[in-house]
Amino acid sequence: MSKDMDLKKHIRSIPDFPKPGILFYDISTLLAHPKAWHTTIERLADLIRPHKPDVLAGIESRGFLLAAPLALALGTGFVMLRKKGKLPGMTVRHTYALEYGTDTIEIQQDAVHKGARVVLVDDLLATGGTMAAAVELLESVGAVVPTAACIIELTFLEGRKKLKPPVETLLQYD
Ligand code: 5GP
């Protein structure tokens, strides 16, 4: 497996999605290519490993696609951060501001132990609002978040400035 393959070749950009003026980076083509996907997981695992996670937390829904195989590769647990109303049992939620309106994410109350090192995983960092909310949610249940990780960073949006932990990203677009 060649870890230095050009992963950008496997990411498609789609103009005007989900609304006019937005250029959407589509990872479907990366998922559909076994070697490129395997390389993505291996390279992200290499970036995350030094942060010594106990658990990986995936952000619904593309974050799940990454966090589950990464957790297997790193020998950690995997927990889901989901949209409101999807998780059974006792949950803790965090509501955060969007450009228009608000959104809410949830975690099961007993999903992580106090003091657990939880690395946050998503596919893409844009403005940083989603990851910042996820960090607050994890900290509110007693987790320590040593880093967040994603495949793509839209550097011109400076999302990492919104986050307390550092962010590990594989591919940067400006
Ligand atoms: P942020 O909260 O950082 O502005 O947006 C990041 C969230 O929106 C992530 O959960 C990500 O899945 C989604 N997102 C925003 N833009 C894109 C995009 O161009 N491609 C993909 N795959 N996801 C995006």
Verify whether ligand 1 is closer than 6 Å to residue 17 (CB atom). no
Q: What is the pTM of this model?
A: 0.96
Name, in order, each residue with C-beta under 8 angstroms of 38's C-beta and a sequence gap of 6 or more.
1
Verify whether ligand 1 is closer than 6 Å to residue 144 (CB atom). no
2 or 73: which carries more pLDDT confidence? 73
Task: Name the strands in the sheet holding 148-154, side by side, starting at the edge strand that comes first in the sequence.
Answer: 91-97, 102-108, 77-83, 55-59, 118-125, 148-154, 167-173
pLDDT (0 to 100) of residue 1: 58
pLDDT (0 to 100) of residue 8: 98
Query: How far apart are the CA of 32 and the centre of ligand 1, in A?
Result: 19
pLDDT (0 to 100) of residue 2: 72
**Distance between CA atoms of 131 and 155, rounded to whole angstroms?**
15
Residue 137 — pLDDT band, cuts 50, 70, 90?
Answer: very high
* Annotation: CATH topology of 52-173: Rossmann fold (3.40.50)
- What is the per-residue pLDDT across 84-122, written as a single tens digit (0 to 9) for each? 999 999 999 999 998 889 999 999 999 999 999 999 999
Count, residues in the chain: 174
Catalytic residue among 12, 42, 99, 139: 99
